Structures are given as C-alpha cells and as structure tokens.
Structure 1
Amino acid sequence: MYILQESLFSFEELQKLEFKERLPIFFSALDLRPYAKELRSHSPRGADGHCRQGILRALLAAPLENMDTFSGLHRRLDMDLRFRYQCGLRLDRKAPSIATLSRVFTELTNKGLAKRLFEDLVTRCKQEGIIDGSHVAMDSAAIHAYEKKQPKRKSELTGNANWGAKFDSFGNKVKWFGYKLHLAVDTASELPLALSVTPAHVNDGDLAPALMEQVAADAKVKFFVFDAGYDQLKNYEAARKLKAQAIIPMNLRNEKEPPAGITSNGTPCCSMGFAMTYWGVDGDHLKFRCPHATGKVDCPLGMAACSSSNYGMVLKVDTKSDLRRYSSPHRNTKRWQELYKERTSVERCNSRMKTYLTADAMHVWGIEKVITHQYLNAIVLLASALAMAQKYRKVAA
C-alpha cells in the first residue's frame, strides 16, 4: 500500500509540471473506456466519428487547464495539436465542434456517468491508501450561476439557481445568485469523498445528514467536523446513528441560557459553583472531578463538603442525554480543538475547486448539468492524487 506524505497535496504537485508532461501523467491514472462505451451514439444519423473517450478526456482536461466554456475547449483542441493528441483525438480531422462537446456533456449528465466515475475514483484512492476517511470535514461554498437572475419566489419553483446569503470568514454577509456546493472531504488527504449541489437558499445543515450517510456507507467514520452553521440537533443525531461524533462549535447567537449548574460548553459545576475538571471518557459517559481535588481552584470548603474520599467528588455525564451539548472528547479540550482545526481541509478543497479549477466558472444551465460540472472538477482532484502516487511509486522503484 502506498501512502502519500502528510501535507503533500498532489494537485499542486501536478500543476508545477510542464504542460507537455502534466496531461499524460494525469490521464495515466484514468481508464475511461467503460464510461466512454456508454457515450457512444447508436443513432444511424449524423455519426461524427469522434472518439468518445477522447472527448471525455478533453472534458476532464478542461477544468485542469482552467477552461470553463465549450467554445474555449473547442478553440484549444482546434489550435493546439499537442493538446488534441494528448486527449486521444485524431489529428487528421477537425476538432470536435462546440455542439459535439455540449452533446457529450449532456450524455454524461443524463446517464450519471460523472458521479459514477467520481465514486469509483474515491474507492481507488481508499484502496491505495491515499484516502483514510475516518475524519471527515463538511462545508458549503457559494457557486455563481450562468443563468438569468429571477425573483427568489420564482426561482424556488424551478429548483435551479436561487438567491443565497452567508457570512464569510470576516463576518461579512455575502449574497449571490446561484447554487451551493456541499463538500465532504477526507481531512488527511484534503480530497473530496462526496458532494451535493443545491440552490443557494438551502440551509447547510439540511444537507448534512444525507451527505454523512453517503460518506459512511463506504468508510468507518469516527469524526464529522463542521463549523457553527451546522449546530443543529439533527446533525449530532445523524452522526450518532452512524457511530461517529460530530465536532461542531456551539452557535451562541440564538443560544438560550444553559441548564442550571452547567457551563455553556457542557461542563457541570460543583455545589460551590466552580466548573468541574474534565477527566476523560468512560464509554458513553464524560467523567468530571472536583476542581479543588485537581488543583484548579482553591475552594474554601475543600473537598470535605462534597466527598469523604481523598479523590474528591466524581460526576459522570451521559452524552446521550444531550447530544448537542455533550461531546466525546469534551468540548474545548485540547483534543476537541485539534479535531476542529481539521475543518480547514474542506476550506482548502473548496478553494482549489473554485480558484484553480472551474467550480465557480460555470457556463451550463440547470442544476443537473451544474452537478456534472462539479463532479468533473472533483474528479480532477482525485485523478491528480492517483496520478502523482503512481509517479512517486515509479521513482521509488
């Protein structure tokens, strides 16, 4: 089994290579023949004779080479013979037309082939040790639509692009017309495990349970990591159902006062009102000790008022009694903070797809085609990881 070095992300490594080397290495990880077979036209009319595998290669090369339109891809295939050859298309005839490229893209969409290829690549990455899958981070990203803007009510009827708003990392409210790309990412490799696309107005937390189930179907997930926007009971319950722990900061914006005798992060207080000391996990229970006994506070009554034991009073809290408030590991402990920091992996994955690929540069209409467009971008990241892993193996051999 070959395992990529920590913090070494293959997409950036692939981008550093010269163009003439980059595409052959990228395509070396992909066997597109099974998918291309399903794209062959069976119509006796208008057969264009273009290799469907070559067109599929070109559609995957487009986001890698930052081409976001069929006209731009056609122009590149027409003018750049090396590019056309590397895609596996013949040089003794004209490049595929814009209409042909668009038609094949529509076939990909109608037959769900992009999703199938994506899922097959995720499986391969797991088999080769590139993806671990035990820690998963989720988040959404704003995707702008190449569609005519409409009033929000009218957009909701179509199920396509709509108006959305969310707060950026600086606390500013950002509005846009389009979609949301919901990503589930392996925190170790920063590679996508599953994705979903919704109109922009859909709440992030509403999509999380289904995405969690999709990821956990093929991997044993220990932790799901989210930002505070996912702080909803149903997300904790969904993680618990999958035998995993949701790591989510509590959203205090609409938070009511915590129950009497408990701090806002779920730490019980002793009879003197001091927060007790977290002392580990015992099955489904969090263990807390007298803060005076652990040296955290200097209680005027000492330990005698609470317990006759030299160990001090011990309290065990069942995490199942309030899945949202109680977490294992306990909220705000060093371990919990370490796990939460892994959430940045999904931010970096989103950034790569939007900045270096074409996730936010769409020129297709309708949510089904938008989904295919996003899958093609995600496939580039997975194929890059597989391609570079093969390259490293050859160098090491």
Structure 2
Amino acid sequence: MYSIRQEELFSFEDLLLMRPEDKYSQIFEHLNLAPVLHALGKKNNRGRPEELNVPAMIYSLLIAKMEGIEFVSALVRRLRFSEEFRVQCRFTGSNRIPSEASYSRLIHVLEQTGMLEDLQDTLVLSALEEEFVTGMHLALDSSIVEAWDSLFSEAASKRRAARRAKKPSDAPVAQQLQLELTEPESEPVDERPKKPVYPPGRPSAEEKERRRKEREAYEESLGPFEKTIEQMLPYTYDELLAALPRHAARCDKKNAKGRLTSYYGFKANLLVDADCQYILSGLWSSANLNDQRMAVILLKGLLLKFPRLNVKHVLGDKGYDSAAIYQLIHSLGAYPTIPMIHHKEPPKGMNSDYNPVCSQGHTYRYDSFDAKYETLKYTQPSQCKDCPLSGSGCQKVFKIRIQTDLRKHTYPARGSESFTELYKKRTAVERVFAYLKEYFGMKRTRHRGVRARVDFQLSTLAYNLSKFALDKLNQRLRNSQQVA
C-alpha cells in the first residue's frame, strides 16, 4: 500500500457520512448543468410549456446512485412520499413529480446526446486546472458487472421452454396462432463472406492468387473487434466507439482463488489517475471483450479529450501485455509499466526480466535511463568485482535501447526497485472499483441496453463529483489553517 500525493484532512468516507443536506450541497456545487439544459431545451416556443424540472431530475438520478436506489420506480415512489428527499433533489413545491416515462425519455436523450460523458470530461478538466489531477501515472483495469436480466437469462429461457413443452394445449388456439404469426419467418442472413477453408495440398499459382483475394475479402469484411489487436490500431476513436459491443454476454474469468468462473453481464473499463484516483475515462462494454481491445479505445480517446495531459507512465496488469498496447502507449509519449507473460525462454545472456546476465549467472544492476536516446543503462553486479573474468570475459556496462523491443525493455527496467515501487500505484484503480461498487451502485445491474450504460456513467460521474468536492473542501481547510 502506498500513500497518495497529498494528505487528506477530510477523508472520502467522512464526506459520504455527512448529513444529506450538507453532502449534496457540497457535491452539486461543482456540477454545471447549463450545457445539458441548452441541449435538452425546446427548439421553439410552440406547443405545451415545459413543466418538468430537468436539473432536479438529473440530481435525483445521481442521488439515487449514492443512496442505493436501483429502480426508477423506487425513485419516483420516494419522491412522491418524502418531502425531505424532494428538497434534497432540489424539487420545488410547484414542480410536478416526474413519472417513470419522463425519466425513461430523459435517460434516452442523455445517452443519445452523450451529455453525461461531456459533464465527466468537463469535471476532469476543472480538476486539471485546480491541479488536483497531474496525469503522470495512469492505471488501466476492468471489472465484471453481473447482469440480473431474468427476461433474457439462460435459466429463464429453459424454464419457459419446459412450461411450453409440458402444457402445449392449455393456450387457446387463437393465441397459439398469434404466437406463430409473430415469430420471425427466418433469421437475418449474414451477407459477409465466410472464412475460407481450403483442402490440404500444394495449390497452383492461379489457385494461390484466388485464395489470396478470398482471404483479403474476408479480412476486409470483419469489424474492428473481430480483427487482431494490431489491426485495430489504424481505426479512429469514433470508429471503435461506434462498433463497440455493449450487450450483456457470458464470459469465463479466473476468480481470486484461481478458479475459472462463468459470468453473465457487462464489463466496466476505467482509466484512472493513480496519484489522485480520479476517473479520466470509462467505457461500458460486453463482458466477453478482451481487456487489450478496451485499452486501445481508452488510450486513443485520452489525448482527444485531454490534449494538455502529460502522461509519463501507464500501468496495467498482465492482461495488457501485448506488443500493440506497448506501441500505442509509446506513441502517446509515455512508458508502459506492465508485467510480462513469458511465452518462451529468454535468450542466452538475459534473465526472465530481459536484463543482462554475466557468464557466472549474476544479473546486471539497472543504473539509469537516458531519455534523449531512450536507452537503459546496466552496470556490472557487485558479485563480479573479484571475478577472474572481469577483465576479459565480462562486460562492465550494458546499454539497451527500448526501441529494439518495446515489450521486453521498459522504463524503469523490470526487476528493479523503481519498477516495483511504481507498479504498486496500480492498486489505485482497484480502490476506485471498490468505491464504485460499495457506494455508487455498480455492484450489479438489473438493466440492459441504454439504461445499463447510463447507469455506469451516472456512477462514475457521481464518484468524480464526490472526489472533486472532497478536494475543494480540503483545499479550503488548508487555506484557512494557513491564514490562522
């Protein structure tokens, strides 16, 4: 465990334990809803006047995440029967309590316009201006969010099929005919070329050319998430975001005990500042997507959203160990801090961390890094001082450019104390996930489609708002202590 950048006078838990009136006034003070109201405003003055308090509806959705209210129906019920809760959400006495349909329309509009993501980016930019966020060390990670979707779950489908097989004649004939008419006549036809399969044997020159064209046509028909990680890099951030699968899916993942466990749901992917634990960017995706594919989108969108960010290191676990990820991080002007998965034995003269080793098996000591030439410097180990081969058989200094292989050679060098200490900061993203699941309603979701994605955005926005309010409160306390 490491200590964060500055000592907190007022902790995150203290903020969450405050009285609701004080807590929400501190948090919503820093939420600027003017762009949202402008985007959601009526385009003309004709028609029925607006009766809904849209800012209060957005406040109530954020408070619902902090209060653990999972359903809109429960939120509307509490607004109707609790005057204190209506005041906390900033509804006035003349405001009409929104219905579930009104909330549903608001959620769809927020998803279509992307306003929640814009509010998130604006808040991070404010934290950058206040110097709460440095952006030097970023941490990547993902977490499974299980979906309790009983309507489309596998178990429910089996139960419905068993009931139909058990009592086929209970339903009226007209109802059975109606069910048959409403069923789709045929499945949608996939017009893309199928993966070519060829018989064994040596083809002729003409056959080779024909097969090459077939393979190229098949690869061109694949979407971004059906291609390899390397082939995803030329796509833009908007193209990848448009093709991102966001439906509930089943995936297999090892749990904390190393056992393979099956999950059904979604995956939350976060890019977090490891020094201050702000969420810089987040993505909601299907659970069966590879973490490396999600890292490509997060890193591509980083500089588009925050061009002034000066990233020095990007930290991730072994799941992000891919040559394409190293290449993308290096193109951002940063250095990856990722443990390596060993697919084969290292070459002679190198250890498992790809550090030089002398003829007697002693590892050279990592000394320094030359940023101009991006070169790692290793010096002779202390065990080799009295070695008889030190004059001729062993080299005193090794210099290795990280460009020779970005995956094998990183800054700081793997196996060094500086790499170990830097990698400890990666636990910041795990703490953020713990806060989101414990206090901001991201432990599970009973929704699907648009609502599930908006739930995720509301959770991350509520977390960042709370973090920004906490930093502002601590800043005022420090200033008052200095004046006193």
Give the TM-score, by structure 2 length. Answer: 0.73
The structural deviation recorded for 1:42 is: 5.7
The answer to whether 1:222 aligns with 2:223 is no
The answer to whether 1:174 aligns with 2:261 is yes
More off after superposition, 337-346 vs 87-96: 87-96
Aligned to 1:347: 430
Aligned to 2:208: none
The structural deviation recorded for 1:132 is: 1.3
The answer to whether 1:239 aligns with 2:329 is yes
Provide the C-alpha distance between the structure 2 equivalents of 1:282 and 1:391, rounded to a whole number of angstroms.
Answer: 41
Distance 1:170-1:81 versus aligned 2 partners, 3 A rule: same
More off after superposition, 45-54 vs 260-269: 45-54
Provide the C-alpha distance between the structure 2 equivalents of 1:362 and 1:159, rounded to a whole number of angstroms.
Answer: 13
Aligned to 2:170: none
Aligned to 2:18: 17
Provide the C-alpha distance between the structure 1 equivalents of 2:81 and 2:417, rounded to a whole number of angstroms.
Answer: 56
- Aligned sequence identity (%): 29
Cα displacement string for residues 274-315 of structure 1 (whole angstroms, at most 9, x for unaligned residues): 322222223311112232xxx2346642412236xxxx6212
Aligned to 1:72: 74
Provide the C-alpha distance between the structure 2 equivalents of 1:129 and 1:81, rounded to a whole number of angstroms.
Answer: 39
The answer to whether 1:139 aligns with 2:141 is yes
3-state DSSP of counterpart to 1:340? helix
Provide the C-alpha distance between the structure 1 equivalents of 2:50 and 2:11, rounded to a whole number of angstroms.
Answer: 36
The answer to whether 1:391 aligns with 2:473 is yes
Distance 1:48-1:175 versus aligned 2 partners, 3 A rule: farther
The structural deviation recorded for 1:33 is: 2.7
Aligned to 1:95: 97
The structural deviation recorded for 1:170 is: 3.4
Instruction: Decide whether the 8 Å contact of 2:384 with 2:390 is kept in 1.
Output: no
3-state DSSP of counterpart to 2:350? coil
3-state DSSP of counterpart to 1:377? helix
1:115 maps to which of 95, 114, 117: 117
The structural deviation recorded for 1:270 is: 2.3
AA of the residue aligned to 2:466: S
What is the total number of aligned residue pairs between the two structures?
382
Aligned to 1:372: 454
Aligned to 2:27: 26
Aligned to 2:131: 129
Aligned to 2:408: 325
The structural deviation recorded for 1:34 is: 2.3
Provide the C-alpha distance between the structure 1 equivalents of 2:389 and 2:399, rounded to a whole number of angstroms.
Answer: 20
AA of the residue aligned to 1:30: L
Q: How does 1:221-300 map to 2 (within 5 A)?
A: 221-252=311-342, 255-283=343-371, 284-291=374-381, 295-297=382-384, 300=387
More off after superposition, 205-214 vs 344-353: 205-214
Cα displacement string for residues 134-163 of structure 1 (whole angstroms, at most 9, x for unaligned residues): 100010000112432259xx9x99751101
Instruction: Decide whether the 8 Å contact of 1:179 with 1:198 is kept in 2.
Output: yes
Provide the C-alpha distance between the structure 2 equivalents of 1:158 and 1:191, rounded to a whole number of angstroms.
Answer: 26
The structural deviation recorded for 1:73 is: 1.2
Distance 1:285-1:5 versus aligned 2 partners, 3 A rule: closer
Cα displacement string for residues 200-253 of structure 1 (whole angstroms, at most 9, x for unaligned residues): 11010111122123224421110000011111111111111111111011123x
AA of the residue aligned to 1:181: A
Provide the C-alpha distance between the structure 2 equivalents of 1:361 and 1:76, rounded to a whole number of angstroms.
Answer: 21
Instruction: Decide whether the 8 Å contact of 1:137 with 1:184 is kept in 2.
Output: yes
3-state DSSP of counterpart to 2:446? coil
- Of the two, which has the highest radius of gyration? 2
More off after superposition, 132-141 vs 64-73: 64-73
AA of the residue aligned to 1:377: S
3-state DSSP of counterpart to 2:472? helix
Instruction: Decide whether the 8 Å contact of 2:246 with 2:266 is kept in 1.
Output: no
Provide the C-alpha distance between the structure 2 equivalents of 1:51 and 1:40, rounded to a whole number of angstroms.
Answer: 12
Instruction: Decide whether the 8 Å contact of 2:321 with 2:341 is kept in 1.
Output: yes
Provide the C-alpha distance between the structure 1 equivalents of 2:455 and 2:18, rounded to a whole number of angstroms.
Answer: 25
Cα displacement string for residues 336-392 of structure 1 (whole angstroms, at most 9, x for unaligned residues): 0111000100001011111211123323321x4322221111111211122233334
AA of the residue aligned to 2:269: H
AA of the residue aligned to 1:184: L
Instruction: Decide whether the 8 Å contact of 1:195 with 1:211 is kept in 2.
Output: yes
The structural deviation recorded for 1:98 is: 1.6
Provide the C-alpha distance between the structure 2 equivalents of 1:259 and 1:305, rounded to a whole number of angstroms.
Answer: 22
3-state DSSP of counterpart to 1:323? coil
Aligned to 1:315: 398
Structure 2 gap ranges (5+) = 156-187, 189-225, 227-243
Structure 1 gap ranges (5+) = none
Provide the C-alpha distance between the structure 2 equivalents of 1:285 and 1:158, rounded to a whole number of angstroms.
Answer: 40
Aligned to 2:53: 51
Cα displacement string for residues 90-130 of structure 1 (whole angstroms, at most 9, x for unaligned residues): 22455211221222111111111111111111111111111
AA of the residue aligned to 2:126: R
Provide the C-alpha distance between the structure 2 equivalents of 1:338 and 1:7, rounded to a whole number of angstroms.
Answer: 22
AA of the residue aligned to 1:72: A
Distance 1:354-1:24 versus aligned 2 partners, 3 A rule: same
Give the TM-score, by structure 1 length. Answer: 0.88
**CA-atom RMSD in angstroms:** 2.6
Provide the C-alpha distance between the structure 2 equivalents of 1:73 and 1:135, rounded to a whole number of angstroms.
Answer: 38
Provide the C-alpha distance between the structure 2 equivalents of 1:158 and 1:323, rounded to a whole number of angstroms.
Answer: 30
3-state DSSP of counterpart to 1:281? strand
Distance 1:47-1:161 versus aligned 2 partners, 3 A rule: farther
More off after superposition, 374-383 vs 269-278: 269-278
